[in-house]
Amino acid sequence: MSKRILITGASGFTGQHAVRHFLDKGYTVHAVIRRTKLDLDREALYIHSLDLSDKEAVHKLLEDTKPDYILHLAGESSVPESWKTPFKSWQANVGSTLHLVEAIRALELSARIVIAGSVLQDELGRAVSPTHPYSLTKTMQTTVGLAWHNLFQVDVMVAKPSNIIGPGVSNGVCTLFAKQLREHQESGITQIQVGNAAVTRDFIDVRDLVEAYETLFLNGESGETYEITSGRWVSLGEVLSVFRKVSKFDFTILSETEEAMEAKLPMMAEKIRALHWQPTRSLEASLADVWQYTTQL
């Protein structure tokens, strides 16, 4: 009998890749969406339209589906929106997580849940003075999840990926670069302007990330937090240089400044590496797929 996995935020960028990955691996997938559609018709795929801020609805969903695994990707990810509607962001990120872990506890399910955080969120000690409402909600989201593990032995893990890239609808910087370059190529503009080409980031391909999530379900230690990164710091100038290569579009990079900036947070991926997971896709391969995807837009 195939394992059952429930994926929240299934119509999002990472969610769509996760749904396909787990279906391809033979899982029965229960995909939870809110307003948007999931354009996929596959055997062993069940789609649930649900508001995760509805405690009773979440309880009934878990009671009916009895998942072995839960991948919690849903939430509000916009910093500007968190300023406009902080309570809505709180409900989307903290409330949804609380309802899921509490339903697991109340129903006495043996489900493992991976909560998707971010290495970019504020550290726990800074929760009282966050830089924006979004960072507060993400910090408290993981705090609530791990608290239910510590207090009630719910099987919770937290995953903190770095900057996610890959083909699909995304608001990430690489996708935005690709769209802008495609527009410039079509209109004959041979220059692209960036604020600081020396800024460095760690990028993880969404398909490698989804494989890491499966590794956590199979081999991760309950109550742990895992940072999921490529381990490679790359400047935005280097990203654009790779796009120049894969697009065969000869453009000039104009940077307002090229002041080197140190990474704000150290990213420690040793724990996930110890579970025998490694990213397999190179930056060039990932950006080539991002570039190819822009032709479909």
* 22 shares its domain with 154: yes
* 246 shares its domain with 143: no
| 10-residue mean pLDDT series, the chain (297 residues) | 94 96 97 80 88 97 98 90 91 96 98 88 52 87 96 98 92 93 93 91 96 98 96 94 95 80 62 95 97 86
| 192 in a structural domain | yes
- pLDDT score of 6: 99
| Structural domain ending residue among the three candidates 108, 138, 161 | 161
Domain of 102, in residue numbers: 4-161
SS (H, E, C) the chain: CCCEEEEECCCCHHHHHHHHHHHHCCCEEEEEECCCCCCCCCCCEEEEECCCCCHHHHHHHHHHHCCCEEEECCCCCCHHHHHHCHHHHHHHHHHHHHHHHHHHHHHCCCCEEEEECCCCCCCHHHCCCCCCHHHHHHHHHHHHHHHHHHHHCCEEEEEEECEEECCCCCCCHHHHHHHHHHHHHHHCCCEEEEEECCCEEEEEEHHHHHHHHHHHHHHCCCCCEEEECCCCEEEHHHHHHHHHHHHCCCCEEEEEECCCCCCCCCCCCHHHHCCCCCCCCCHHHHHHHHHHHHCCC
Where does residue 34 fall: left (phi above 0), alpha (psi -120 to 50 degrees), or beta otherwise? alpha
* 107 shares its domain with 181: no
* 87 shares its domain with 174: no
* 157 shares its domain with 250: no
CATH number reported for the structural domain that contains residue 23 in this entry: 3.40.50.720
* 9 shares its domain with 156: yes
Q: How far is Cα 238 from Cα 167, in angstroms, rounded to an integer?
A: 19
| 144 in a structural domain | yes
* 10 shares its domain with 87: yes
| 275 in a structural domain | no
* 195 shares its domain with 73: no
| Structural domain ending residue among the three candidates 161, 185, 220 | 161
**Measured distance between the N- and C-terminal CA atoms of the chain, rounded to whole angstroms:** 39
Number of structural domains the chain divides into: 2
- pLDDT score of 40: 75
* 19 shares its domain with 70: yes
CATH number reported for the structural domain that contains residue 248 in this entry: 3.90.25.10
* 184 shares its domain with 116: no
* 153 shares its domain with 33: yes
- pLDDT score of 123: 47
| 247 in a structural domain | yes
* 287 shares its domain with 140: no
| 30 in a structural domain | yes
Q: What value does the mean pLDDT of the chain take?
A: 91
| 285 in a structural domain | yes
| 215 in a structural domain | no
| Structural domain ending residue among the three candidates 99, 128, 161 | 161
| 176 in a structural domain | yes
